[in-house]
Amino acid sequence: MRLRICAVGRLRAGPERALVDDYLERFDRTGRALGLGPVSVHEVEDRRGGGRAAEAELLERAIPAGAAVLALDERGRMMGSPDLADSLARWRDTGRSDLAVLIGGADGLLPELRERADRVLSFGPMVWPHMLVRVMLAEQLYRAASILAGHPYHRE
C-alpha cells in the first residue's frame, strides 16, 4: 500500500525537513517487506487566498483514486501507536492500494473534507505547527511499521 502525505504548505530545508526525510526513509526501508510504502509527499499551496475551501479542493485533487483517507485534525480521535499500526495493516489487508494522509492549512481542514475521511486522527487537543505535525506523522508512520515488523523500536 502506497502512502501519500497531502499537506498544505511547503516544508523548507532545515531540521524539521531533515527529521521528516529521515523517518520517511526508515519507514520505506521497514515497510517494504510489509507491503507498505513507498511514501510520497504532495504539497499544495493556495496562492489565490481562497481559504479552507480552496485548500480542500487542492487536497482532494492530491488524493489517489480509491485511496483510504486519514485526516489529521485536532477534533479527531486520539489513538495509540499500536492502533495506528493496526489501521495501516487493516487498510493494506483489505486491498487498499493507497492511503492519503491529509494535513490542512493554518485554519484546519474543511468540515466536508474531514467527514470524507475513513479516519480522523488527533495528535492531542493542543494545536501544533504544521512543520512539527509532519515530523510527528513521519515518526509515527515509522513506529507503526516497526510495530508490524516486530522491531524493538516501539516499547510498551
- Residue 110, pLDDT above cutoff 80: yes
User: Does 53 fall in a domain?
Assistant: yes
User: Does 74 fall in a domain?
Assistant: yes
Cβ–Cβ < 8 Å for 15, 50: no
Give the CATH number for residue 104. Answer: 3.40.1280.10
Q: What is the pLDDT of residues 11-36, one digit of tens each?
A: 999 999 999 999 999 999 999 999 99
Instruction: Count structural domains, the chain.
Output: 1
Q: How confident is the model at residue 47 (pLDDT cuts 50, 70, 90)?
A: confident
User: Does 101 fall in a domain?
Assistant: yes
Mean pLDDT (the chain, rounded): 95
Residue range(s) defining the domain that contains residue 101:
2-149
User: Does 154 fall in a domain?
Assistant: no
